[in-house]
Structure 1
Amino acid sequence: MKNFTLIIMFLFSTLLVAQNQLLSSIDEYYDTATSQWINSSGNNYVYDSNGNLTSEEFLFWDTSTSLWQQGYQTIYSYNANGLATVVLDQNYNSTTSQYEDSYRITYSYNSSNQLISQVFEEYVGSAWVSRDRFTVTYTNGVLTTAIIEIWNGSQYDLEERFTLSYNGSNITQFLIEDWVGSQWVLSERDLINYNGSNQRTNRIYEEWDGTTWNETDRETYTSDTFGNRISTLSSVIGNPSQDYKIDLNFDISIQLSTLDHPFKDKTGIDFIYDESPFVSKVLTSTESQYDSAAMIFSPNYRTTFNYNSTLSNSDIALETLPFKVYPNPTSEFVFIEGPELIHTVELYDMMGRKVMESTNERISIHHLPSGLYNLMIEDINGLKSDFKIIKN
C-alpha cells in the first residue's frame, strides 16, 4: 500500500510539473475546402531549473507522411542574473543527421544589468563572421537611443538609429533615421497611444517623404481588464484587402508568470518595441484575413499552446525545411524554391516591423538598409517556414 501511494504521488507531481510549463505549440492553417484545421508547423520548448527557456525546436508537418519533421533549433545561454548572453540558431542537416551552427547573437550588459549591445554573427566555413551590431544608450536609466551598425570586413559602419520618446514611463514614439553620407536622415516613425490604464490602444506607422509624414498602416489593440491583449487589428491604408486581425484566448484563472513559458523577457528590452500581450495563461491565437468582397474576417491561421505534452520526437522524420532561400547574404534579390506554390512572403526587421510583403518567388531587397531580417514564407497549403536573411 505504501509503494502504491508513492507511485500515485510521483505521477501526480510529474503531471503538476508538466502543467506548470508551456511545452509545445502547434500552428495550423484553415482549409476552406474541408472546413478543417490542418497541421502546419510546431515548436517544442525546454527550460532549466530556473524556468529559463534553454532550447526551442522548430518542426514542420509533412502532409504526405503525416509526420513532424525537424527544421532548426534555437539554443539560449544565460548569465547568473537570468539574462540571455548567447542565442544560437542551428539548422538541421539531413545528410549528417545533426544540427549545425548557423547564426548567433551575443548580448552584453552594464553593471546595472541593462543591455548595452548585441552582436550578430554568421557561421561560415569553420568560423564566426560578424554581420552587424546593435548598441543601446540610456538616459537616467531609461533607454533613449539604439543604433544598428553593419560590419564591412574591417569596421562597423553606421546604418540606422532609433530614438525613443516618452510620456512618463510610456513610449509614445519610435523615430527611425538612416545614415546617409555623413548625417542622419529621417525615414520612419511609429506613434503609440494609450488608454487611462496605460495599455497601448494603437500604433500608427508613418513614412517621411522629405517634406511631411504619411501614414502607411496602423495596429489597433483591444485588452481585457486583466491586461491581456485579446485582439490586434492591422490595417493597411488604402488597401483593406491586406487587413488582418489576431484574436487571443486566455485562462484568466492562472497568471502566466506562475508558469515556465518562452515569452519571458530575456534581455530586459524584449518588449520595448511591442509590449507583451500576455498576462494570463494563453491558450490559442487565431489570425483572420479580411475578405473585402464578403466584408468579413475569415480565420486562416491559428496557434494552440500545450501545457502537458510535447510534439513527439518518435514521430519526427529527419528532413530539412521544404523551402530553399538563396543567395544569403545578398544585396539585391532573394530567390525562393520549394515544392509548393507560395501564398505570401513577409520580411521583418530586427525590431519586429514588417518591411515587405510579396507573393513572388523572387523579391528585391536592394532598397532596404543592410542588416539582419526574418523571412517568413507561407505556401498555398498554409505551411510556414522561417529564415534569417542578411542584407549586405
Structure 2
Amino acid sequence: MKKITLLLLTFCSFTLLGQVKLTSSVEKYFDGTNWLNSAKYVYEYDTNNNLTSENYYYWNSITSLWEYSGKETIAYNSANKIMSDSYEGYNTSTGSVTYGYKTNYIYNGNNELIESTSLDLSDGVYVNDYKSTYSYTNNKITELMEHSWNGSAWVLAVESDNQDASSKITISYGTNSLVSEFIYYEWNGSSWSADDKDVYTYNANNKIANLVSYDWNGSAYDISYKEEYNYDANDNLILEEDFDYSDGSYESESEMSYTFDETQIMSSFTHPFIDRHGFEALTGAGY
C-alpha cells in the first residue's frame, strides 16, 4: 500500500452565513505572479449542522465562469453518524453524470464503525467494489481488513494487473492513547505479507511531531520518508516538512507553511472540515 503526497500551493477564501455556518470556499493557485481561481465548493447542512452536500465547481479561464463539476451527498442516522457518502461527477457539456462512487457505513451498539462498503457507479447502477471491516479493543480501533467483490461474494484478492491486493492494517497505541504505529499488510493468496508501516511520535502537548514511513524489503523495514510538524504557542500547525530517505540520510523534498487569523477560530462555527469518522482523532489531528 503505497502512500503518495501531492503538494499544492493554494489559497482558500471562505464565505460565512451569519457567522454561523461556512457556506462556500474558493481555492486559488499562485502562477508566480498572481493568485488565480481554481476551484469552488458550496456547502449545505441539515438542522443538526451535519454537512449534507458539497457542490464542486471549477474555474473556466476562457469564459471566466464557475462551471459545475460534481456533488457529494451525505446521509446520517439518528445518532448523526454517516450512513452513506456518495459522489457523482458531471459532464459540463451534456449535464449528465459521467461517473460516481458511494460508501455505506454500519455501526455497532456503541456507535463504532464496524463496516464500510464502497460501490462504483456503472451504467446508472451502483455495484459493489470493496468492503472494509473494523475491529476494536477497549473501544479503540485496532485492525482494518479489506475484501474485494468478485461478482458474487466478498473475497481476499491477490494483486494483479486489474486489481490491488486486499489489505490489512493493525494499529498500536502509545501511553498517550494516541496511535504509535500503523502496520500495513497485503494478501498473497494464502497469508498476510508485510508491506509498509508508519511510526508516529508526539510533542509534550500530544501533537504529532514526526511521522516516519517504512517499506518492507522482505526481511526488514527500510526507511522511506519522514514528515515533521511544527506548531506555534497555541498548538496551531505552522510548518510541515517532508523528507525523502536516500543513502542513509534525509533529503528535503517539500514544505508547507501556515498562517492563522485567530479572530475567527474554525471551531467557533459550523464547517465541513470535521473528523467525519473519528479516525483523525486517533493521532490527535481532528478538529
TM-score range, shorter chain: 0.7 to 0.9
What is the letter of the counterpart of residue 194 of structure 2?
A: L
User: 1:230 and 1:213, CA in 2 relative to 1: closer, same or farther beyond 3 A?
Assistant: same
The corresponding residue for 1:42 is 40
- Distance in 2 between residues matched to 1:211 and 1:101, nearest whole Å: 41
Hey, what does 1:25 align to over in structure 2? Answer: 25
Q: 1:198 to 1:110 in 2, by over 3 A?
A: same
Provide closer, same or farther for how the CA distance between residues 75 and 100 of structure 1 changes in structure 2, counting only shifts above 3 A.
farther
1:231-310 alignment runs, 5 A limit = 231-238=239-246, 243-272=253-282, 275-276=285-286
1:314-365 C-alpha deviation (Å, 9 max, x unpaired):
xxxxxxxxxxxxxxxxxxxxxxxxxxxxxxxxxxxxxxxxxxxxxxxxxxxx
Cα deviation, 1:210-268, whole Å, max 9, x if unaligned, reads: 12211111111112233322221122223988722222222324442221111112223
The answer as to whether partners of 1:150 and 1:157 remain within 8 angstroms in 2 is yes
Residue 49 of structure 1 aligns to a residue in which SS? Answer: coil
Quick one: distance in 2 between partners of 1:254 and 1:180? Answer: 50
> Size of the alignment, in residue pairs?
261
1:163 to 156, 167, 170: 170
Q: Secondary structure at the match of 2:259?
A: strand
Go from structure 1 to structure 2 and tell me whether the alpha carbon gap of 1:74 and 1:242 turns closer, same or farther (over 3 Å shift).
farther
Q: Does residue 160 of structure 2 align to residue 150 of structure 1?
A: no
Does 1:178 find its partner at 2:186? yes
Gaps of 5+ in 1: 1-14, 279-392
Which of 88, 97, 102 in structure 2 is aligned with 1:90?
A: 88
Distance of 1:192 and 1:135 partners within structure 2:
23
CA distance in 1, matches of 2:16, 2:142: 42
Amino acid aligned to 2:275: D
Q: CA deviation at 1:175?
A: 0.2
Distance in 1 (CA, whole Å) between partners of 2:51 and 2:259 is 23
Where does structure 1 differ by over 6 angstroms across 4 or more consecutive aligned residues?
A: 239-242
Q: Tell me which amino acid in the other structure corresponds to 2:108.
A: N
2:101 alignment partner in structure 1: 103
Structure 1 equivalent of residue 228 of structure 2 = 220
For residues 272 and 98 of structure 1, do their structure 2 counterparts lie closer, same or farther at Cα, with a shift above 3 Å needed? farther
Preserved CA contact (<8 Å) 2:49 2:270? yes
Residue aligning to 1:135: 133
CA change 1:86–1:242 in 2 (3 A) is farther
Secondary structure (helix, strand or coil) at the match of 1:19 reads: coil
Amino acid at match of 2:172: S
**TM-score of the two chains, using structure 1 as the length reference:** 0.62
Distance 1:107 1:255 in 2: 31
The range that moved more, 100-109 or 143-152, is 100-109
Distance 1:176 1:94, change over 3 A: same
1:112 to 96, 110, 113: 110
Call closer, same or farther: CA 1:16–1:154 in 2, change over 3 Å. Answer: closer
Amino acid at match of 1:163: T
Q: Which residue of 2 aligns with 1:62?
A: 60
- The one-letter code sitting in structure 1 at the alignment partner of 2:181 is Q
- Letter paired with 1:77: A
In structure 2, do the counterparts of structure 1 residues 29 and 95 end up closer, same or farther at CA, with 3 Å as the change threshold?
closer
Q: Secondary structure at the match of 2:258?
A: strand
- The structural deviation recorded for 1:273 is 6.4
Superposed CA RMSD:
2.3
Helix, strand or coil for the counterpart of 1:252? coil
Larger helix proportion of the pair: 1
**Distance in 1 separating the partners of 2:16 and 2:56:** 25
The answer on whether the counterparts of 1:82 and 1:266 sit within 8 Å (CA) in structure 2 is no
Tell me, in whole angstroms, the C-alpha distance in 2 between the residues paired with 1:233 and 1:208: 23
Aligned counterparts of 2:221 and 2:31: Cα–Cα separation in 1: 40
Residue identity in the other structure for 1:256: M
CA contact (8 A) 2:243 2:251 kept: no
Assess, with a 3 A threshold, how the Cα gap between structure 1 residues 274 and 26 changes in structure 2: closer, same or farther: farther
Secondary structure at the counterpart of residue 257 of structure 1:
helix
Task: Give deviations 1:88-130, integer Å, cap 9, x for gaps.
Answer: 1011134553557711000111110101111000121232210
Larger deviation, residues 61-70 vs 95-104: 95-104
